Structure 1
Amino acid sequence: MITIENLTKRHGSRTVLHDLSLVARPGRVTGFVGPNGAGKSSTLRCLLGLDRIDGGTALLGGRPYRELRHPLRTVGAVLDGAGAHPSSTGRAHLRWVAAGSGIAQRRVDEVLELVDLAGAAERRVRTYSLGMGQRLGLAAALLGDPQILILDEPVNGLDPAGIRWIRTLMRERARAGGTVLVSSHVLSELAEVADDITIISQGRVRASGTLAEVAQGHSDLEEAFFALTSPGAGL
């Protein structure tokens, strides 16, 4: 389970997260959405121990990220903009990640097959398309077969077949009892896969609950999103 309670984050004198709380439960896909600058990336970075927390807690399986004994076996994450060194091959990158996390090298070929990159494993990452880079990031996140999966804009650069594939992957991970937290701007796609939704704006939670609860009173998730994040909404 992912549990974020009263999370506060400041950049200098500016507060970017205001007592933000969120729960992502096992067996469910939780969508995490908000406009640009809402605080989604800051939240995920705090959760993954990349940014210092100024108040509150952000826990993975009941522990802060930095206290996890085997992080990659607990949580796999793909953050927007994060990736492998351009001069590395896909296989070399995954072998490096596996070695640093005490994961058997045979797992590298398993995840390459899983994300359909086995045929491009010896190519330099600089030659990968955006979608292939997304798949490589997912392969790294899945190396430790973690119970928690955190995805930031996972369909970015994917073609329709790739989007369908990532949707299936998220549902399968949830059905197996895993916890999936996904941040995306593609609301129509998120509505196809998410069980629960948290909407934030200006560093504050505007709505949180099941997809049906959040969309109640609106025609769909997109309509609810704009109503809840428009200027002055909830203020």
Structure 2
Amino acid sequence: MLTFDAVCKQRGTHTILSDISFEARPGRVTGFLGPNGAGKSSTLRILLGLDRATSGTALVSGTPYRRLSAPLRTVGSMLDGSGAHRSRVARDHLGWVARSNGIPRRRVAETLELVGLAESARTRVGQFSLGMGQRLGIAAALLGEPGMLVLDEPVNGLDPEGIRWIRGLLRGHANDGGTVLLSSHLMSEVAEIADDLVVIAGGRVVASGPVATVTAGYASLEDAFFGLTGDPKGAGR
């Protein structure tokens, strides 16, 4: 389980996050939604030990990410694309990621096959399309066979076949008892796959719960999103 308990983040006099509290549970896909600048990336960065909260806790199965001995075996993540240097070939990028967490080398080939990049294993990342880069980032997240996945905009740059593939991958992971925390701007994709929703605006949680609960009284998830986040262009209740 991924647990956020009263997470606050101040940067000088500016409040980035205020009392962020929610859970992403096993067997569920949790959609994490909010406008640009709402605090989604800051929340995920704090969870993954890339930033520190001013107060509150963000825990991975009750433990701070920084204290996990081999974090990629517990939680796989993708923020800001593949994270690979453009001069590296895909196989070598995943190779050093595997070594850093004591993951068997065989997982490199297995994971490249899983994400559809087996034929591009020796291709430099700088030659990848945006969609191929996304697949490589997802491969790195899956490398340690983690029970939990944290993905930020995983379908960005994917073609329709790729979007359908990632949808099935994440749904299957949750159906097998895994935890998925998914941040995306594509409402149709979140509506298709999510079991639970967390919506933030202005650094605060404005709604959370099962999809049916959060969207009750709205015609669609998109309408709910605009109504809950206060966008004047959105449809209200």
TM-score, normalization by structure 2: 0.96
Matches for 1:152-167 after TM superposition, within 5 Å: 152-167=152-167
Say whether the 8 Å CA contact 2:82–2:133 is kept in structure 1: no
Structure-2 separation of matches of 1:66 and 1:82? 21
Report the count of equivalent residues. Answer: 233
1:95 correspondence with 2:95: yes
SS across alignment from 1:223: helix
Structure-2 separation of matches of 1:122 and 1:154? 23
SS across alignment from 2:17: strand
1:197 correspondence with 2:219: no
Structure-2 separation of matches of 1:187 and 1:179? 20
TM superposition outliers: structure 1 runs of 4+ over 2 Å: none
Partner of 2:65: 65
Which residue identity does 1:151 align to in structure 2? L
Partner of 2:112: 112
Task: State the Cα distance separating 1:83 from its structure 2 match.
Answer: 1.3
SS across alignment from 1:197: strand
Which residue identity does 1:94 align to in structure 2? L
- Cα deviation code 1:199-225 (max 9, x no counterpart): 000000010000000000000111000
- Cα deviation code 1:49-86 (max 9, x no counterpart): 00011110100011010111210100000002451000
SS across alignment from 1:122: coil
Which residue identity does 1:130 align to in structure 2? L
Partner of 1:186: 186
Partner of 2:211: 211
Question: Identity across aligned pairs (percent)?
Answer: 63
Which residue identity does 2:175 align to in structure 1? R
Which residue identity does 2:72 align to in structure 1? L
Partner of 2:137: 137
SS across alignment from 2:51: coil
- Cα deviation code 1:14-40 (max 9, x no counterpart): 110001111000000000000000000
SS across alignment from 2:57: strand
Say whether the 8 Å CA contact 2:30–2:196 is kept in structure 1: yes
- Cα deviation code 1:115-135 (max 9, x no counterpart): 000001100000000000000
SS across alignment from 2:131: helix
- Cα deviation code 1:90-148 (max 9, x no counterpart): 00000010111111101100000000000011000000000000000011111100000
SS across alignment from 1:180: strand
Partner of 1:17: 17
Partner of 1:85: 85
Q: CA RMSD in A?
A: 1.2
Structure-2 separation of matches of 1:231 and 1:161? 32
SS across alignment from 1:36: coil
Segments of structure 2 that go 5 or more residues without pairing to the other structure are none
Which residue identity does 2:110 align to in structure 1? E
SS across alignment from 2:135: helix
Structure-1 separation of matches of 2:159 and 2:35? 23
TM-score, normalization by structure 1: 0.97
- Cα deviation code 1:163-220 (max 9, x no counterpart): 0000000001001100000000001111000000000000000100000000000001
